[in-house]
Amino acid sequence: MPAMPDLTHSLQHCNLQANIYTTIMLLFRILLVGFFLLASVDACSPSDRAALLAFKAGLQEPYLGIFNSWTGNSCCGGWYGVSCEPETLKVTDITLRGESEDPIFEKAGRTGYMTGSISPEICKLDSLTILVVADWKGISGEIPKCLTKLSNLRVIDLVGNKISGEIPSDIGNLNRLTLLNLGENAISGSIPASIVNIGSLTQLDLRNNRITGEIPSDFGKLQMLSRALLGRNELTGSIPNSITKMSRLADLDLSMNGISGLIPPNIGKMPVLSTLNLDSNRISGQIPPTLMSNGGLGILNLSRNSLEGQIPDVFGKDSYFMALDLSFNALKGPIPNSLLSAKYVGHLDLSHNHLCGSIPIGSPFDHLEASSFTNNDCLCGNPLRTC
Ligand SMILES: *[C@@H]1O[C@H](CO)[C@@H](O)[C@H](O)[C@H]1NC(C)=O
């Protein structure tokens, strides 16, 4: 029976071929699936891609080429400064900083410069949570009003540009916002009343703009706020009393505005306040004693106001001032002796007031120069003339 082995042989041969065939097909499928996975990992949705390209078209960046990578379909992969949510492939994050350690800047040996404006098309990125377009110096135009429809936004940082126009009046709709950084721009108009509804806001920087009007009287509703930087604007009206209810506020800068009225008496009872800059305003009345006895306050600048009365004699062993500047006011009476019991006074400026009497002798005063005391009515003793 010679046929039998032949038949078995060809059957075995057939089996082997089938096995090779399935293995090849399997490998091919794995490759195919892998290819699609890879391709889709960095391709964002077509509408997001169109919005990004419109955003790019509104800006000119001549020196670094940060938008060079913004071509093709892989907007969730290689596009500089863009990130997506990996499951949905929606753009969540645009982070473009003009001052950065990124190799792109090192290679160019310069900081960034960009002109143009932020296209309202950016509002079509409906999953956007972080928008940072900061320190490009030349970006002008307005903040797109439609930005307040992006309810997932947590960070808006447009600091250090030439952005003008007003803060959108319904900014308060962005109830997930933690950081609103619009400092160093040319923004005008007033602080929108709705801002107090951003319950999650921890940092507000509006410094160095042209913002007018009053600070909303219910500003203290911002219970999560730890930094409120409103200096170098044209704010008027008085400091709202509600501010003293802000239990997390550590840094309050209202300097170089047109703020008048009194300092709220309870401001020194704020639990974590460590820096208070009220300098260069039109604040009148007396310095609240709570402010001087607050052990957590490290920097206090009340310079260039219309403060009168005496310096409260309530310093204690908890007082620790890196800087205490009361210069250019109308303070009278003596330098309080209790200042000698302070744990530390780094920089002290009492010049340009109407103080009188002998400068206390003790360690907090040893290192101070005459300039700390000059231009008063009748102060005497070291480092000024002997009494
Ligand atoms: C306090 O404010 C004045 C006026 O705005 C400024 O000139 C001064 O340098 C400030 N003092 C300190 C210690 O920063």
- pLDDT tens for 135-167 read 999 999 999 999 999 999 999 999 999 999 999
Residue pair 382/361 in contact by the 8 Å Cβ criterion: yes
Q: At 356, give phi and psi (nearest 5°).
A: -150, 150
| The pLDDT value given to residue 29 | 58
User: Taking Cα atoms as reference points, which of 178, 183, 145, 190 lies closest to residue 163?
Assistant: 183
pLDDT at 281 over 90: yes
pLDDT digits 0-9 by tens, 93-119: 999 999 998 899 988 999 999 999 999
Q: Which two tokens stand for residue 156?
A: 């808006």
| The pLDDT value given to residue 133 | 98
Q: Which of 233, 283, 301 to mutate to test ligand 1, by most ligand atoms within 8 A of the CB atom?
A: 301
| The pLDDT value given to residue 15 | 56
Residue pair 317/340 in contact by the 8 Å Cβ criterion: no
Name the DSSP letter for residue 63: T
Q: Which two tokens stand for residue 79?
A: 């596009």
Closest atom, ligand 1, to C-alpha of 280: 5
Confidence band, pLDDT 50/70/90 cuts, at residue 7: very low
pLDDT digits 0-9 by tens, 313-330: 999 999 999 999 999 999
Domains and CATH numbers, the chain: 41-129 (3.80.10.10), 130-380 (3.80.10.10)
| The pLDDT value given to residue 330 | 98
What's the alpha-carbon Rg for the chain, to the nearest Å?
32
Average pLDDT over residues 13-24: 56
Q: Which of 325, 368, 371 to mutate to test ligand 1, by most ligand atoms within 8 A of the CB atom?
A: 325
Ligand 1 site residues (CB inside 6 A) read: 255-256, 279-280, 301, 303-304, 323, 325, 347
Confidence band, pLDDT 50/70/90 cuts, at residue 231: very high
Q: Which of 233, 254, 303, 347 to mutate to test ligand 1, by most ligand atoms within 8 A of the CB atom?
A: 303
Confidence band, pLDDT 50/70/90 cuts, at residue 20: low
Confidence band, pLDDT 50/70/90 cuts, at residue 43: confident
Closest atom, ligand 1, to C-alpha of 299: 13
Tell me how far the alpha carbon of residue 301 lies from the centroid of ligand 1, in angstroms.
6
pLDDT at 3 over 60: no
pLDDT at 24 over 60: no
pLDDT at 260 over 70: yes
pTM: 0.89
